[in-house]
């Protein structure tokens, strides 16, 4: 039971620190999502067959977290792992490796469709030319 003013102050301070940290985590999460959307191609493997270069990605993500004074392990536990198995939260919303993989897969699928469609756009009436 909280009976001491010191105890109440401690609870308020911890709560405020938690809110500030969550705001920081949220800002970083939003940045990483936007970064992935615009820079996913940097993490394609050199053979560009749709494989993710995980080492390069983790190096970027961890460096970015360190620059923002956040331990990557804490970020993984408090943000990514926390929601991974929560039924109320779409896990793809916080698991940045999955977000990146999905963006790469979407890119590869779009490239395949582009290649397949190159002949499909010819009008069948013009086929006699070939």
Q: How far apart are CA 2 and CA 64, in angstroms?
A: 40
- The answer to whether residues 94 and 83 touch, using CB atoms and an 8 Å cutoff, is yes
Q: How far apart are CA 121 and CA 49, in angstroms?
A: 25
Could you tell me where the DSSP H helices lie in 40-95? 54-67, 72-75, 82-84
pLDDT averaged per 10 residues, the chain (length 130): 71 81 88 92 73 89 94 85 63 77 83 62 58
Cβ-based neighbour number of residue 121 at 10 Å: 6
- Residue 43's pLDDT is 87
Domains of the chain by residue range: 20-116
């Amino acid at each position: 039971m909280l009976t001491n003013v010191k105890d109440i102050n401690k609870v308020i301070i911890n709560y405020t620190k938690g809110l500030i940290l969550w705001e920081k985590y949220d800002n970083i999460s939003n940045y990483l999502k936007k970064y992935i959307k615009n820079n996913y191609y940097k993490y394609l493997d050199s053979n560009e067959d749709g494989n993710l270069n995980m080492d390069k990605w983790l190096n970027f993500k961890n460096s970015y977290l360190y620059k923002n004074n956040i331990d990557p392990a804490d970020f993984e536990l408090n943000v990514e792992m926390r929601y991974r198995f929560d039924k109320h939260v779409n896990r793809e919303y916080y698991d940045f490796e999955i977000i990146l993989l999905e963006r790469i897969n979407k890119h590869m699928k779009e490239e395949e469709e582009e290649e397949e469609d190159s002949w499909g756009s010819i009008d069948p009436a013009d086929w006699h030319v070939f």
